[in-house]
Amino acid sequence: MGAGAVAIAGVHFAPMKRLVVLTASLFLAACGASKDSGPEEILGDPDAVATEDGAPLGDSSGSGFDVSDDVNVGDGKLVSDAACAKSTAMAIKPPVDVIMAIDQSGSMSDDIANVKANVNKFSDYLKATGLDYRVILIASPGTTTYSLCVPPPLGGASCGADNPPVFKQVPQNVQSTDALTRILQTYDGAPGPYQGALRAAAVKAIVPITDDNSSLAAASFDTQLLAKPGGHFGTAAKRNYVVYPIMGAPAYPMESPKCGSNAVNTGSQYIALTKLVAGGSKWFPICLTDFGPVFTEMAKSIATRVACELTVPPPPMGEKLDPDKVNVTYVPGSGMTESFLRDDSKPCEGGANGWQYSTDKTKIILCGDACKKVQADLGAKVNVEFGCETKFRPPA
């Protein structure tokens, strides 16, 4: 072995031109991998790490490694990827702020008990997907039949206590037909406001739970909500909220008849609001005896809604973001890491397949099959790689 050389896992390395950090997982990915398997690239330039005989690490003539210059894009195509300096960070899933308003009128005793018994399943599912979520609950706290305290781990240690920053309770009584009105009132007024608990970048999910209808028309609620200071809910052209009412209609998209004897009516204004907002909004029947599956399905719907719009993470310290040297990889819960190629050939909703930047290049938008894969595997990671020329999908 030459002077200054070191041996790791039976491979000889000559002195480095600059420090390169290789993790154990990187060695495992490279050792024994074939050219067809699309292994991860090695950090650094080709000559940054060399064997004793001077051959670059990516050269199989003496290194014991077979590191491919091709990347598997998931459809049988290999795209050339010349060696380059590369660092990786996980894409940031968008935050979600959930606003719940619970009808506490005399016909809701069993439904209130149902919420209390199952609301932690809702937060558990959001947590499992890696989403940064918060829950705001509008309801009078207490231990009586028609009051509501959320138990830990979502709720605070004592009845009605907040659990910042994840949970906040607004101590406002809600009756049969005023859930939407209370959501507007307590946003920036007493006994809230809850405006300060919301985050500008977060998608808002509004969850009214009632066996009755709303005295406030859907269109009026939407107009007033969008006009609230702070711009949290977006605009009529691009709303930043979805709605998931639990009310008297049968399972979405059925609108009638009432889901059962527990419902006062179908909740026509909530149906109208769900249709107006769209974007993944849907309603759930209140007549179920177990809200556990409802809360799990609702959480899944929220996670699916935000799965394909990811924030570009900051580059490593000391590096400058070059938008033309960014690539995206998908790391499923099981199976091989796959590269998503950038596809600017069409709009995302018009048939693009891969990823695109948002207009301001702060977000990565997944399109086509790339989006479907992430939505079907909500616990998966999407990584952003910095430093290599962006790989585009070849023309069809």
pLDDT in tens, 255-278: 999 999 889 999 999 999 999 999
Q: What angle do CA 370, 372, 374 make, to 5 degrees?
A: 75
Q: How does the average pLDDT of the chain come out, rounded? A: 82
- CA-closest candidate to residue 149, choices 165, 167, 123: 167
Share of the chain above pLDDT 70, in %: 79
Overall average pLDDT of the 36-52 stretch = 36
Share of the chain above pLDDT 90, in %: 66
CA 184/CA 245 separation, integer angstroms = 16
Tell me what pLDDT residue 259 has. 95
Tell me what pLDDT residue 318 has. 81
**Model confidence at 78: pLDDT above 70:** no
**Model confidence at 129: pLDDT above 70:** yes
Tell me what pLDDT residue 35 has. 34
Q: How confident is the model at residue 83 (pLDDT cuts 50, 70, 90)?
A: low
Tell me what pLDDT residue 228 has. 97
The more confident residue out of 4 and 19 is 4
Overall average pLDDT of the 214-239 stretch = 97
The more confident residue out of 33 and 210 is 210
Least confident range of 25-29, 119-123, 150-154, 235-239 = 25-29
Tell me what pLDDT residue 380 has. 86
* Upper half-sphere CA count for residue 377 (Cβ side, 13 Å): 15
For domain 96-306, give the fold: Rossmann fold (3.40.50)
Give, rounded to a whole angstrom, the gap between the first and last alpha carbons of the chain.
Answer: 50
Q: How confident is the model at residue 68 (pLDDT cuts 50, 70, 90)?
A: very low
Overall average pLDDT of the 300-323 stretch = 89
Residues of the chain with CATH 3.40.50: 96-306
Overall average pLDDT of the 220-246 stretch = 96
Least confident range of 23-27, 126-130, 370-374 = 23-27
**Model confidence at 186: pLDDT above 90:** yes
**Model confidence at 18: pLDDT above 50:** no
**Model confidence at 147: pLDDT above 70:** yes
Q: How confident is the model at residue 40 (pLDDT cuts 50, 70, 90)?
A: very low
**Model confidence at 17: pLDDT above 50:** no
Overall average pLDDT of the 184-188 stretch = 98
Overall average pLDDT of the 55-81 stretch = 37
Contact 330, 72 (CB under 8 A): no
Contact 174, 181 (CB under 8 A): no
**Model confidence at 61: pLDDT above 80:** no
Tell me what pLDDT residue 156 has. 95
**Model confidence at 126: pLDDT above 50:** yes
Query: In 171-291, which residue ranges form alpha helices assigned H by DSSP?
Result: 179-188, 218-226, 268-277
Q: How confident is the model at residue 8 (pLDDT cuts 50, 70, 90)?
A: very low
**Model confidence at 67: pLDDT above 90:** no
CA 102/CA 111 separation, integer angstroms = 9
**Model confidence at 79: pLDDT above 60:** no
Overall average pLDDT of the 55-79 stretch = 36
Could you tell me the two tokens for 224?
A: 């007033």
Tell me what pLDDT residue 281 has. 95
Query: Which pLDDT tens digit goes with each residue over 332-359?
Result: 977 789 999 999 999 998 999 999 999 9
Could you tell me the two tokens for 146?
A: 């028609």
